[in-house]
Structure 1
Amino acid sequence: MGTCVAKLFALLCAFLLYRTPPSIQAEKHSLYYIYTALSKPVNLPGVYEFTAMGLLDDTQIDYYNSKEQRNIPKQTWMKEKMPEDYWEEDTKLRKDKERWIKKNIDSLMKCMKQNESDLHVLQWRHGCEVEQQGSELSFSKGISEYAYDGENFIYFDIKESMWVTSVDEALPTKRKWDSVPILNQYTKGYLEKECVDWLNKFREYADEELKQGSPPDVHVFARKSTKTKLKLTCMATGFYPGDVMMTIRKYGTSLPEYEVESTGIRPNHDGSYQMRMSVEINKNEEAEYDCFVSHKSMKEPNITEWRQQETTTESSTASESAYTEEPVLDKESDGMFRQLLCYRANFRYEFLTFHCFSNRTRGCWQSIRQQCDHVHIFSLSHISFHLDILKLSVLLRTPYSIISKLFIYFLIHYNQFRLQRAIKNDVKFLQGFNDSLN
């Protein structure tokens, strides 16, 4: 009897335990500012000696560079909500930071006895994160950290209110900054209070636009895949927020997932999003296909039809130009990128795609299409394919000088905060490998 009671009690406990609803996970938000300075000018399009950007929840909200020397809004709500004097004052602050960080990079080079002919990069990231659970909002994390040539240099320990480094060259900086208590107090106060106040204000403004949303532009086009096949593509772009439902349908019925390729939801340069789905169909097939897209900004789904007789493989160029805004590469870059990326070795053309989206100039897609058989749009928010570019440089015996330019291009354009140590090792390997080839 006692055994039965024990079993029943155990079952009851298990039942009550598994019935207990899981705790609601806190929603996280962040506000970061990233500053990047070069020790000297780089003759590459879109790369500046100094850049600064603000990121709210990883979405760019403002931007400054040393050429234009003015802070500009990157979101509609920033332009509409923030007064003119805010941008004037913020521009002054960015100019001050530009002078200050350039002065520091010069000092570091002298301290490390580095050659002025070499290129060096100093980056600073600071900001805060909060957690929101229901209406409760709490400070989660504050960061102020510096990187030099892709390596951790010095960072602020917010709990101890002191600067921390494991780099000998940064010790003088640590001693100098820690010797001014008011500086550390200000840094801690900014991260825990002022930064959080700005984050909350920006979130309120962004949420107003989020409620309205931005509907997607939908395009359907096909291009030749093989002699007997076409690749039918559904493209939705410009939508915000990023949640969207998309299917390719045949006679009004959604195709199964295993038949369809999807890029997933990807970011655009302006903070909106895009998504592509593709399927291979018979070249002479007369079935009715359509692209079904549903988004919270639309009262009804967007259904865009495609029929074999209405669209030819040549029409895809016009369709794609509608959302790529037709870019052009300068001659030097054009030749360099084509040499690297039109190599037929199961290598996709992410970098050239990145270049088109970054420069927004005319003719880029047409130029690529003339040189390469296929162009795909993949995620533009990561540089995970850098090792493929390095390996490709070995296969093509591309000079190391070009590869180093590509690294700087990625590093600055994406404001990547850290250049992985592994990349440096690969660069050293490639230098030796290329030397052995020459």
Structure 2
Amino acid sequence: MGFFVLSLLLLGILVLTEIRAGSHSLKYFYTAASQPGLAEPRFTAVVYVDDQQVLSFDSDSPSQRIETRTPWIEQEMSNYWELKTREATLRYRMCLQKVPVYYNHSEGGVHTYQRQAGCEVFSNGSFSRGFAQYGFDGRDYLTLDTGTLRWVAADAGALNNKRKWEADQRIAENWKIYLEGECVHSLQRYLENGKERLLRADPPSARVTRHTSSDGEVTLKCRAQDFYPAEISLVWLREGEEQLQDTEFIETRPAGDGTFQKWAAVEMLSGSEHKYTCRVQHEGLPEPLFLKWESQFSSIGLSAGVITILLLLAAVIIGVVVWRKNTSDSKRGSYTATASNDSAQGSDVSFTART
């Protein structure tokens, strides 16, 4: 089972294929699927630039037209896309009738015929590689070896098709010309038109969580989200040493808002959590992040200690203020009494002097 098992999910679900850091890709996914009780197979086409879906077509849709999936691609829309889609629809429906014969399948069954093709360029825009792969019923079928221009058959059922295509060398040569020429030029143009979205670098937000299983095993998970592009590195370190073999990864997944998410988990003995550090590296980060798990109880204890100190300090301050106030009031009372006596004596003196 190969790539085409996953590509069956293309009807409404994004299929991610990792590309090398700093490179960009243009990918086309075509699928023709026979439908029980219906004369015409269903045909779908999806176009991706890097990890962003930009165009799609579904023969079952009411509009029967190519739909744009991002604003900047609208300036690329022309009769070219409509013509290519119609041609592909007819060609793949015919292939869906012919290929089952190579496998001795009876007519009227449910089958799928698929193609993935595209190109990658380096960060400077120069050609990196091209690819063209076909699949049948969810399995690899034929793959073009772009170096030798030979077709690689995945099984005996694909040999007939391989012989036919290799009998006409122009088929492989035309693929090479397209992948290294038109495909690259299109990708370069798309990257320029959509650079605000495609060439951005959103840094990840990351954290470490702790999980305990029913049998007492401890797992630390390093989670990263909200990042773009999709390329990211999550590595667990134990006292500075990478733990790649002991780490469980999930593939980078779309978050549904144009960003991505990923996590990496490592198991350990309880009490050794402090020995582990998660290193996060991404294009949007000026330098790697190093994250450790922090116990919530420790945080609560620390917060409680800080609060206690602040309360004690506040009590001392209030005590000093009250003491100073009482002292000030006491002195003020003595000064008032003395002043009153002095005033009374002065009056008597004055009265005596007047008499």
User: TM (normalized to structure 1)?
Assistant: 0.43
- 1:224 to 2:212 alignment: yes
Which letter maps to 1:297?
G
> How much is the aligned-residue C-alpha RMSD, in angstroms?
5.3
Q: What are the residue-to-residue correspondences of 1:396-435 with 2, within 5 Å?
A: none
Q: CA deviation at 1:88?
A: 8.8
Gapped regions of structure 1 (runs ≥ 5): 1-26, 43-47, 312-438
| Residue number among 250, 253, 275 corresponding to 1:268 in the alignment | 253
Tell me what 1:297 maps to. 284
SS of alignment partner, residue 297 of structure 2: coil
Q: CA deviation at 1:197?
A: 0.6
Q: CA deviation at 1:203?
A: 3.9
- 1:202 to 2:187 alignment: no
Q: CA deviation at 1:289?
A: 8.8
Indicate if the aligned counterparts of 2:211 and 2:219 stay in contact, CA closer than 8 A. Answer: yes
Q: Distance in 2 between matches of 1:158 and 1:307?
A: 54
- 1:137 to 2:126 alignment: yes
TM-superposition CA deviations, 1:62-115 (whole Å, max 9, x none):
5444445665566xxxx2422266289746743552343123312445787741
SS of alignment partner, residue 266 of structure 1: coil
SS of alignment partner, residue 77 of structure 2: helix
SS of alignment partner, residue 221 of structure 2: strand
| Residue number among 51, 56, 59 corresponding to 2:44 in the alignment | 51
Q: Distance in 1 between matches of 2:242 and 2:107?
A: 55
Q: Distance in 2 between matches of 1:167 and 1:288?
A: 55
Residues 1:110 and 1:146: Cα distance change in structure 2 (over 3 Å)? same
Tell me what 1:126 maps to. 117
Q: CA deviation at 1:214?
A: 1.8
Residues 1:213 and 1:287: Cα distance change in structure 2 (over 3 Å)? same
Q: How many residues align?
A: 263
Which letter maps to 1:51?
T
TM-superposition CA deviations, 1:327-373 (whole Å, max 9, x none):
xxxxxxxxxxxxxxxxxxxxxxxxxxxxxxxxxxxxxxxxxxxxxxx
Q: What are the residue-to-residue correspondences of 1:22-37 with 2, within 5 Å?
A: 30-37=25-32
Indicate if the aligned counterparts of 1:37 and 1:51 stay in contact, CA closer than 8 A. Answer: yes
Which letter maps to 2:126?
L
Residues 1:310 and 1:116: Cα distance change in structure 2 (over 3 Å)? farther
Structure with the greater alpha carbon radius of gyration: 2
Q: CA deviation at 1:265?
A: 7.5
Which letter maps to 2:251?
R
| Residue number among 179, 193, 202 corresponding to 2:181 in the alignment | 193
Which letter maps to 2:27?
Y
Q: CA deviation at 1:33?
A: 1.8
- 1:115 to 2:106 alignment: yes
- 1:277 to 2:268 alignment: no
Q: CA deviation at 1:118?
A: 2.9
Q: Distance in 1 between matches of 2:282 and 2:130?
A: 35
Q: Distance in 2 between matches of 1:156 and 1:280?
A: 44
SS of alignment partner, residue 115 of structure 1: coil
Q: Distance in 1 between matches of 2:279 and 2:118?
A: 40
TM-superposition CA deviations, 1:414-437 (whole Å, max 9, x none):
xxxxxxxxxxxxxxxxxxxxxxxx
Q: CA deviation at 1:198?
A: 0.7
Indicate if the aligned counterparts of 2:25 and 2:118 stay in contact, CA closer than 8 A. Answer: yes
Q: What are the residue-to-residue correspondences of 1:321-340 with 2, within 5 Å?
A: none
Which letter maps to 2:253?
N
Q: CA deviation at 1:184?
A: 9.0
Tell me what 1:399 maps to. none
Q: CA deviation at 1:227?
A: 4.8
Gapped regions of structure 2 (runs ≥ 5): 1-21, 300-355
Q: CA deviation at 1:119?
A: 3.0
| Residue number among 185, 195, 202 corresponding to 1:214 in the alignment | 202
Tell me what 1:243 maps to. 232
Q: What are the residue-to-residue correspondences of 1:19-168 with 2, within 5 Å?
A: 30-40=25-35, 49-56=42-49, 62-68=55-61, 71=66, 79-83=70-74, 86=77, 90=81, 93-94=84-85, 96-109=87-100, 114-129=105-120, 137=126, 146-149=134-137, 150=139, 152=141, 167-168=159-160
